[in-house]
């Protein structure tokens, strides 16, 4: 939610992302423990972090070497904040190396790169600071690194080793600084979640109150305050889980002051819907457009234009636009290297005109897809809507490679219908995260 968020004042663990492909998994695993967390660029400022009630910091892995010129590092002011607030820190893989490097430890390339399963052995008689509480003397973890720690920083001790890493896990108990060379967030680390639980719950003392019912109640109250007693909101409902859950939340908060546009779900969701057929306008705008990024921006601009027109027809002042943006949407559009490193504009976050007249409300902005499904079930939304596969904001336009034509869309719809029907008949629809057809420009 752009203007107000039901989680703004919630205590949280901050995950600083150094570009690891696993960073989002850290966030998911922590939230599965009912602890709220958010992902930030590793270059986040101390001022931004001070706006939140932090209970601890996790430093993610990353593809670079900490000793290379231009490698990303935590801002000095953030380390000052950590010391001031006495925040526990857990460094994972690159995060361990960043923790050690910043504290004058020695990190260098490893002669034996570790990639894959490894057995971690705890060091007997050494205080692990609670990180390995309840774990056996030896446990399996997943390694993925080419550099390693060669000499501990002052005040740190080893608490675990592997065959190729004598510093597989380190700790400074007094400062509550922990470093692990392995990845506890991946499924190949069976006891990884126990380590994360020990850190975020026992060491950081984070509240375990992150549940979907409280999020719904908090958002309903927040949106009422934001929109006011007479304000109106407009939003699109595609029938997918994201837009359906967002629409039901708005309906609970505002009643008839929420105006849902598109699709045929009134009987299922109990909301007042108006259908707009703008296919001709979209096809006209997309004529001759072949490049995917241009398609996204063209559709995004026209999408908002249509909503502004509809808002003017409602007969009430409409100041807000509902969007079903999810947390992965936000993560996807953020890079610690800045906008130049963004691969593409996201369907929901990007492609919106700067001078749009409607403010955005994004109630699902802090949620992962599985959390949205849980919330949908808690709200009583029907199962087919809750389990419907994700559908891109720009629609089938980005699943047709090349120019968009009515004939191409018809062919793709028919093929996709057959494919999804067979997937349902085989019983694999719910166990598949996403499945779809793409029309290639070949004959």
Return d(Cα 313, Cα 183) in angstroms, integer.
54
**183 among known catalytic residues:** yes
**346 among known catalytic residues:** no
Identify the active-site residue in 38, 98, 114, 185.
185
Q: Radius of gyration of the chain from Cα atoms?
A: 24
242 is in an annotated binding site: yes
Q: Of all helices (H) and strands (E), which one includes residue 121?
A: strand 106-122
Identify the active-site residue in 37, 38, 42, 93.
93
Order across the sheet with 273-274: list the strands.
Answer: 273-274, 258-261, 232-236, 318-322, 359-361
Q: Are 27 and 62 in contact (CB under 8 A)?
A: no
Token pair recorded at residue 123: 């060091």
> What is the per-residue DSSP string for 146-191?
EEEEEEPPTT-EEEEE-SS-TTSEEEETTTTEEEESSBTTSTT-TT
Helix, strand, coil percentages in the chain from 3-state DSSP, rounded to 5: 35, 20, 45
Token pair recorded at residue 374: 């849980």
**93 among known catalytic residues:** yes
Identify the active-site residue in 183, 232, 259, 346.
183
> What is the per-residue DSSP string for 54-114?
EEEEEE---SS-TTSTT-----HHHHHHHHHHT--EEEETHHHHHHHHHTT-EEEEEEEEE
Alpha carbon distances (Å) from 341 to 19, 245, 333, 354 = 11, 32, 9, 21
41 is in an annotated binding site: no
91 is in an annotated binding site: no
Does residue 321 sit in helix, strand or coil? strand
Q: Are 154 and 202 in contact (CB under 8 A)?
A: no
214 is in an annotated binding site: no
Alpha carbon distances (Å) from 191 to 130, 169, 197 = 14, 15, 10
333 is in an annotated binding site: no
Would you name the residues annotated as active-site residues?
A: 93, 183, 185
Q: Which residues are annotated as a binding site for ATP?
A: 238-244
Q: Which residues are annotated as a binding site?
A: 238-244
């Amino acid at each position: 939610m752009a203007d107000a968020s039901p989680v703004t004042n919630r205590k949280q663990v901050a995950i600083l992302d150094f570009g690891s492909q696993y960073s989002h998994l850290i966030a998911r695993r922590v939230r599965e423990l009912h602890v709220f967390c958010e992902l930030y660029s590793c270059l986040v400022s101390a001022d931004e972090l001070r706006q939140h009630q932090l209970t601890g910091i996790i430093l993610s892995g990353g593809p670079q070497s900490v000793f290379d010129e231009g490698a990303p590092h935590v801002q000095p002011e953030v380390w000052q904040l950590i010391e001031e607030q006495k925040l526990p820190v857990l460094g994972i893989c690159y995060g361990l190396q960043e923790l050690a490097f910043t504290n004058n430890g020695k990190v260098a390339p490893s002669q034996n790169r570790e990639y894959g399963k490894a057995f971690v052995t705890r060091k007997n008689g050494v205080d692990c600071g609670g990180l390995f509480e309840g774990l056996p003397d030896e446990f399996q973890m997943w390694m993925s690194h080419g550099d390693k720690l060669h000499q501990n920083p002052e005040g740190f001790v080893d608490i675990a080793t592997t065959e190729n890493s004598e510093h597989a896990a380190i700790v400074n108990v007094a400062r509550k600084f922990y470093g692990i060379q392995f990845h506890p967030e991946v499924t190949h680390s069976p006891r990884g979640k126990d380590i994360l639980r020990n850190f975020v719950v026992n060491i950081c003392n984070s509240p375990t109150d992150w549940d979907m019912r409280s999020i719904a109640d908090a958002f309903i109250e927040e949106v009422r305050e934001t929109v006011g007693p007479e304000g109106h909101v407009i939003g699109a409902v595609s029938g997918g889980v994201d837009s359906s859950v967002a629409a039901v939340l708005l309906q609970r908060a505002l009643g008839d002051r929420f105006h849902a546009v598109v699709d045929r779900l009134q009987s299922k969701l109990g909301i007042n819907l108006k259908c707009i057929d703008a296919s001709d306008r979209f096809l006209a705008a997309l004529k001759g457009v072949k490049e995917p990024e241009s398609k996204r921006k063209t559709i995004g601009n026209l999408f908002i234009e249509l909503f502004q027109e509809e808002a003017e027809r409602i007969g009430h002042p409409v100041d807000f636009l509902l969007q079903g943006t999810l947390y992965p949407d936000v993560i996807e559009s953020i890079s610690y290297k800045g906008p130049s490193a963004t691969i593409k504009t996201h369907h929901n976050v990007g492609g919106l005109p700067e001078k749009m007249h409607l403010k955005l409300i994004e109630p699902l902005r802090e949620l992962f897809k599985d959390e949205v499904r849980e919330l949908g079930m808690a709200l009583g939304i029907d199962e087919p809507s809750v389990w419907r596969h994700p559908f891109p904001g720009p629609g089938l336009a980005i699943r047709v490679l090349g120019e968009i034509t009515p004939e191409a869309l018809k062919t793709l719809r028919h093929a996709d219908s057959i494919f999804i029907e067979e997937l349902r008949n085989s019983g694999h629809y719910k166990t598949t995260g996403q499945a779809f057809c793409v029309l290639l420009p070949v004959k």
